[in-house]
Copies of this chain bind each other. A is one copy, B any other.
């Protein structure tokens, strides 16, 4: 894409080369999945198609489809790279760039969604829904392909994440497992949450309805949010209420799930 060296790809190759040398059990997987490829994009297409392939959807057809998406919309790969950086920066359990790519199902599910979202934008809704289903089976992550998700996203652990059709998630958001961004009622229009940049959503939180979670807000674990949340506040509880100003400007970066003392 550019003439500058691909630092992320080189880091991943170096990490994986070391793993393959030290762990014979993984050498075969790592050669097939990473080392024989020429670029980050090739690995992404190969590995995601490994995850999504099934008796009813051939791995080769899936790999071609993901390659088509990566070529048609360069933003997908840019976001996939930004998400790796986000995980590496914010998750203390992640000590290598290759780890989310190879092993974190939250990361993988988001990238598969990006392909389904491209299909949806291309008017290929049936195939987009097919992928949504397969992503839900494989990763237990259910993201409607029409949702609009930015880059620099950390979806930690991922299990149980549910995202509705008209959700918007801006860049640089961190979300823990079992979060729902859902609708309420049967109207078919714009009915899901809008998550602004820098937000941190704790494990198990449910945010329901066409409400905005303002930039830099923090939603406590297990909270149920039914009303809009202003920027830079912390909300907690079932139903959630404001418990104070969020002490970090970017809670998505700080990943601090504690609640202010005044709570």
Contact = CB atoms under 8 A, between A and B. Distances in A.
Interface of A: 19-20, 22-33, 35-36, 46, 49-50, 53, 55-61, 63, 65, 90, 92-93, 99, 102-105, 124, 126-127, 129-130, 132-133, 136-140, 142, 144, 157, 159-160, 162, 164-165, 176-178, 180, 182-188, 191, 202-204, 206, 208-209, 220-224, 226, 236-239, 253-259, 263
13 contacts: A23-B127, A25-B127, A53-B55, A60-B60, A92-B165, A103-B132, A136-B157, A137-B138, A140-B140, A176-B180, A178-B178, A186-B256, A222-B223
Given A93-B183, A223-B224, 13 more contacts: A28-B36, A33-B56, A103-B130, A103-B133, A137-B139, A182-B221, A184-B258, A185-B258, A203-B208, A220-B224, A221-B224, A222-B224, A237-B239
A127 B30 CA distance: 11
B27 A92 contact: no
Given A103-B129, A186-B254, A203 B60 contact: no
Given A162-B177, A162-B203, A185-B256, A32 B19 contact: no
Given A25-B61, A35-B27, A56-B33, A202 B206 contact: yes
A24 to B, nearest CB: 4
